[in-house]
Structure 1
Amino acid sequence: MRSLVVDAGNTRIKIAAYLFSELYDLHVFPFGEREKWQDFLKNAVYDTAIVSSVLNDRQTAELMSCVEDGLLLSENTPVPVTVEYDSRRTLGKDRLANAVAAYEKSRTNALVVDIGTCIKFDFVTSEGIFRGGSISPGLQMRFSAMHEFTGNLPLLKNKVPTKLIGNSTVNSMTSGVMNGAKYEIEGMINAYLEEFKDLVIFVTGGDADKLDLSALAPLNYDEHLTINGLYSILQKQNKQ
């Protein structure tokens, strides 16, 4: 069976193709390149499809018009984990997909660290119960906030590791963002490790490669974690 997974984020659209549970093709388009991703979707060949979108209603409708008979992931879509969250309607679809993928891969207590627009931690138990987690600003959001909310600090985009002590304003800002995020993530992971036994940790997200977390316990890097989680959700619908 040929399956299509569409993950529409804040700035990019990922389109993945699966054949008998194997990911064999992946394309990433900036959302602004509408003609390219619309043409790609309209010409895609598939039997089933799922769409996850964090876009507004108008943009999501535009996207869905290109995916014939596609399932739009919503708070009412059955998923392979039990969701213990105050409001599933407000739960990010990427967070839910990450939790599903982590549980499917580990079948034990699992923690997902998604380093992207925001830095998100999500925890799922060995019984397949999604408990929630935390959200904090991502790397670029931190750089942008310092520029936007001060009068003189420049807007930086240099997401590169740096020394602890910055010897210039640019280096000090870079240290504050990059080292601050690194130690924040390390501290959060260690807190989870203290509380939960047999914890498997997954790391994903567009900026996952920008931080050196090698000093921590074994980490499982998976750039396709969200996509694979969406595919697992689609498979659950196909089996019903």
Structure 2
Amino acid sequence: MQPILFDLGNTTVKAWDTATNNFCRLTSEEFIDFLTKRPDQLLFGYATGNDSILTGMKNPIRLLAADDAMPLKSHYQEMSTLGLDRWVLCNSHFLEGNDSFLLVTMGTCITYNIVKEGVFLGGAISPGWEMRFESMHKMTANLPKAEYMKDSKLLGSTTMGSLRSGVDVAIQMEIAAMIEEYINRFLLKKVFICGGHSNRLPNHSKNYIFAPVNYELHALRRIHDYFFKNGTL
């Protein structure tokens, strides 16, 4: 039977019912209701948030863990704390035939992930858009809550404009500089960008490859098929 692939986050669940080719983003309560109508399908995925909602489910569950055998080797010193979303995406991209690359994810946090000759080396984690806007608002007395705007300017002539420059413009410049540094230092030729906020980053270079919609779930499918082929499902 075709599996239900899922990415259980802090506030929502991204799921793909491969039997019906139905992609959806659900709340925890909606996900539980979604599963009660499909009690026999295998659940395959990972939790970057609280996985307690999976307790008591009738479905067979294959929850990915940091110690699962994956195609990539790793020099990361704390695999137990490595985000499974980063690890799955890097392994999936490797299975697509890429052995050296920089993978940038853009969501709640921005992550940079280096794979060199089939070995995951590590990278960096930086606050994403909403986290930066929220922290400036909550950790000061007078700064308002700003939101992303596509056409933010480098020079802010109002407080709101200055906040947007400090986030919208600064993040784009930060990412461009980080990518250039990683490419030069590790002699990488491919940059792969994915995540819900990847559309906020202009395609500056022919070496940037932007992931298609729902790439995270397609990456899970690739890992599922890898496990099935190797008898570790």
Q: Which residue type is aligned with residue 38 of structure 2?
A: A
Q: Which residue type is aligned with residue 94 of structure 2?
A: Y
User: CA shift at 1:204, angstroms?
Assistant: 1.0
TM-score (norm. length: structure 2): 0.89
| Distance of aligned partners of 1:226 and 1:85 in 2 relative to their CA distance in 1, 3 Å threshold | same
Q: Which residue of 2 aligns with 1:100?
A: 91
Contact 2:155 2:165 in 1 (8 A): yes
After superposition, the C-alpha distances for 1:24-65 in whole angstroms (9 at most, x for unaligned) are 33111133xx0x211212223775431210223xxx132253
Alignment of 1:108-127 (within 5 A): 108-126=99-117
User: CA shift at 1:119, angstroms?
Assistant: 0.5
Q: Which residue of 2 aligns with 1:13?
A: 13
Contact 1:114 1:204 in 2 (8 A): yes
Fraction of identical pairs, as percent: 28
Structure 2 distance, partners of 1:100, 1:137, is 23
Q: 2:157 aligns with which of 144, 150, 167?
A: 167
Structure 2 distance, partners of 1:120, 1:184, is 12
Structure 1 distance, partners of 2:204, 2:58, is 43
Q: Which residue of 1 aligns with 2:22?
A: 25
User: Quick check: 1:216 aligned with 2:213?
Assistant: no
Contact 1:116 1:207 in 2 (8 A): yes
| Distance of aligned partners of 1:132 and 1:26 in 2 relative to their CA distance in 1, 3 Å threshold | same
Contact 2:129 2:148 in 1 (8 A): no
Structure 1 distance, partners of 2:180, 2:40, is 43
Number of equivalenced pairs: 229
The DSSP-based 3-state class of the residue aligned with 1:99 is: helix
Structure 2 distance, partners of 1:24, 1:70, is 19
Q: Which residue type is aligned with residue 31 of structure 2?
A: W
Contact 1:78 1:236 in 2 (8 A): no
Q: Which residue type is aligned with residue 26 of structure 1?
A: F
Alignment of 1:88-237 (within 5 A): 88-126=79-117, 128-197=118-187, 199-212=189-202, 214-222=203-211, 223-237=213-227
The DSSP-based 3-state class of the residue aligned with 1:89 is: helix
Structure 1 distance, partners of 2:40, 2:222, is 16
Structure 2 distance, partners of 1:183, 1:168, is 21
In structure 1, list runs of 5 or more residues that go unmatched: none
In structure 2, list runs of 5 or more residues that go unmatched: none
User: Quick check: 1:53 aligned with 2:53?
Assistant: no
User: Quick check: 1:73 aligned with 2:67?
Assistant: no
Aligned CA-pair RMSD:
2.1
| Distance of aligned partners of 1:53 and 1:125 in 2 relative to their CA distance in 1, 3 Å threshold | same
Contact 1:13 1:29 in 2 (8 A): yes
Structure 2 distance, partners of 1:103, 1:67, is 33
Structure 2 distance, partners of 1:224, 1:196, is 29
After superposition, the C-alpha distances for 1:132-160 in whole angstroms (9 at most, x for unaligned) are 11000000111011111211000122343
Q: Which residue of 1 aligns with 2:38?
A: 44
